[in-house]
Amino acid sequence: MAGTGGKSENRLVTEKIGIVGAGIVGLAVARELALTRGAEVTVLEKEGRVGAHQTGHNSGVVHAGIYYQPGSLKARLCREGVALLKEYCAQHDLPYDEVGKLVVASTRAERPQLTALAERARANGVPGIAVLDALALREIEPHAVGVGAIHSPHTAICDFPAVARRLAQEVVELGGSVRLAHQVRAIREGPRGVEVLTDSGDEEAGTGRRRFVFDRLVVCGGLHTDTIARMTGHPGDVRIVPFRGEFYALKGAAKDLVRGLIYPVPDPRYPFLGVHLTRQTGGDVLVGPNAVLAMAYEGYRWRNIRNFGQIISWPGTLRMARTHWRTGLKEIRGSLSKSAFLDGARRYVPELTASDLERAPGGVRAQAVARDGKLVDDFVVDVHGHVVLVRNAPSPAATSSLAIARHIAGIVPALVR
Q: Could you read off the pLDDT of 56-96 as tens digits, one per residue?
A: 999 999 999 999 999 999 999 999 999 999 999 999 999 99
400 vs 54: CA distance, rounded Å: 14
The number of CA neighbours under 13 Å toward the Cβ of 211 is: 4
Per DSSP, the residues of 218-239 read EE--GGGHHHHHHHHT---SEE
Q: Of 290, 274, 292, 273, which Cα lies nearest the Cα of 67? A: 273
pLDDT recorded at residue 303: 87
Where does 26-68 show beta strands of DSSP type E? Answer: 40-44, 61-62
DSSP count for the chain of H helices, then E strands: 10, 21
Range scoring the smallest mean pLDDT among 148-162, 186-200, 315-329: 315-329
Global model pTM greater than 0.75:
yes
Q: Could you read off the pLDDT of 327-367 as tens digits, one per residue?
A: 777 777 777 778 888 998 999 999 999 999 999 999 999 99
The DSSP output letter for 127 is: T
Beta-strand relationship, 96-97 and 156-158: antiparallel
Q: Of 90, 68, 146, which Cα lies nearest the Cα of 349? A: 146
338 and 290 Cβ atoms separated by less than 8 Å: no
pLDDT recorded at residue 5: 41
101 and 279 Cβ atoms separated by less than 8 Å: no
pLDDT recorded at residue 260: 97
Confidence of residue 416 (pLDDT cuts 50, 70, 90): low
Q: Could you read off the pLDDT of 122-172 as tens digits, one per residue?
A: 999 999 999 999 999 999 999 999 999 999 999 999 999 999 999 999 999
238 vs 331: CA distance, rounded Å: 24
289 and 247 Cβ atoms separated by less than 8 Å: yes
Beta-strand relationship, 261-264 and 101-105: parallel
Instruction: For residue 407, give the H/E element and its range.
Output: helix 397-411
278 vs 155: CA distance, rounded Å: 11
Q: How far is CA 180 from the centre of its chain?
A: 20
- Read off the pLDDT of each residue in 370-384 and give the average, rounded to a whole number: 94
pLDDT recorded at residue 7: 42
Strand, coil or helix: 307: coil
The DSSP output letter for 191 is: S
Q: Could you read off the pLDDT of 288-303 as tens digits, one per residue?
A: 888 889 999 999 998 8
Q: Could you read off the pLDDT of 240-289 as tens digits, one per residue?
A: 999 999 999 999 999 999 999 999 998 766 656 678 899 999 999 999 88
Helices (H), 10-101: 24-37, 73-91
289 and 362 Cβ atoms separated by less than 8 Å: yes
| Category of 104 on φ-ψ map: left (φ > 0), alpha (ψ -120 to 50) or beta | beta
Beta-strand relationship, 357-370 and 292-293: unpaired
Q: Please, what is the average pLDDT of the chain?
A: 91
217 and 263 Cβ atoms separated by less than 8 Å: no
258 vs 243: CA distance, rounded Å: 26
- Sign of torsion over alpha carbons 36, 75, 299, 384: positive
- Read off the pLDDT of each residue in 15-32 and give the average, rounded to a whole number: 97
The per-residue b/e assignment along 96-113, b for 16 or more CB within 10 angstroms, e otherwise, is bbbbbbbbbbbeeebeee
In the predicted structure, residue 4 carries a pLDDT above the cut 70: no
64 and 155 Cβ atoms separated by less than 8 Å: yes
In the predicted structure, residue 39 carries a pLDDT above the cut 70: yes
Beta-strand relationship, 261-264 and 238-250: unpaired
pLDDT recorded at residue 274: 73
Beta bridge partners of 370: 238
Beta bridge partners of 366: 242
Instruction: For residue 158, give the H/E element and its range.
Output: strand 156-158
Q: Which domains does the chain have, with CATH numbers?
A: 15-96+157-237+372-417 (3.50.50.60)
pLDDT recorded at residue 339: 86
In the predicted structure, residue 398 carries a pLDDT above the cut 50: yes
186 vs 295: CA distance, rounded Å: 24
Instruction: For residue 101, give the H/E element and its range.
Output: strand 101-105
